[in-house]
Amino acid sequence: MHDIWNPWHGCVKCSEGCQNCYMYFLDRVHGRNGSEIYRTRAGFNYPLQKYKNGAYKIQSGELIRVCMTSDFFLEEADEWRDEAWDIMKNALM
């Protein structure tokens, strides 16, 4: 299974390839603005979250897609990125 981790949401259109951005489209459908960039509240530490039985929600060795609704290296996310790297490191231990 391929899970998704979105530590932040929203993006900056930076090329022609962004013209028909699916995230912007979906946000518009839901009455939101894809250019508003924010750290996700419930999802930020998702790789470290566990079920009630103590098992990690993301299994060891599972591939995950990161930042499907943003860009991991956005300047606007600079202040959150170190914490996201730490989450990745801790999830691998």
What residues make contact with ligand SF4 under the rule CB under 6 A?
11, 13, 17-18, 21, 23, 71
Nearer to ligand SF4, 15 or 53 (CB): 15
Tokens standing for residue 86: 């730490």
Region label for 61, one of left (φ > 0), alpha (ψ between -120 and 50) or beta (otherwise)? left
Paired strand residues for 18: none
Asked if residues 47 and 64 have their Cβ atoms less than 8 Å apart, the reply is: yes
> What minimum distance in Å lies between the beta carbon of 70 and ligand SF4?
6
> What minimum distance in Å lies between the beta carbon of 28 and ligand SF4?
12
Nearer to ligand SF4, 14 or 93 (CB): 14
